[in-house]
Amino acid sequence: MLGGTFDPPHIGHLIVAHEARWQLGLDEVRLVPARHPPHKDHGDVAPAGRRADWLERAVAEQEGLTVSRLELGRDGPSYTADTLRAMETAEPGVALWFILGADQLAGFAGWREPEAILALARLAVVGRGDTSRDELAELADSLAPGRCDLLDVPLIGVSSSMIRRRIAAGEPIGHLVPP
């Protein structure tokens, strides 16, 4: 599971999903757009249905990538523990990984129900350029001992906020987002 706001989805999201699938030997990676991201101002986020539509178009030709609208039918904030519980209930016994960035791992202890997340899924952590692999491994071991896999993903300096800024400025984005 790769959750996020996906406002909009971009090539960085696809690269992370494909690298996780390949490096972990996963059958598929489900991209899960959050209905109400708990850490964002909802007024600044495109409607959830629109973001899910964009994401479905983005992965339409991407083998092994699917979109789950699981969080869109839920009221209130989108919490990872709730989503993983729903996935586990729908498919008992399926091994789950939750893909997140090193920046998210740093604040993981403050998330809602981090122990439940670790009980339901392994963490697959994507490094960032500002954290060494050794530092990341140490952090992962302290927060999620034995429940964390580190992924080596090419660094792509693309973010949804950068794309939104470029759109507002009338700058090209076609090379940064899927068709």
pLDDT digits (tens, 9 = 90+) for 58-100: 999 999 999 999 999 888 888 999 999 999 999 999 999 999 9
pLDDT in tens, 90-137: 999 999 999 999 989 999 999 999 999 999 999 999 987 778 899 999
Give the pTM. Answer: 0.92
Are 123 and 149 a contacting pair, CB within 8 Å? Answer: yes
- Helix axis angle, 11-24 to 48-59, nearest 10°: 60
How many angstroms separate the CA atoms of 100 and 38, rounded? Answer: 15
Query: What is the C-alpha separation between 46 and 89, in angstroms, rounded?
Result: 29
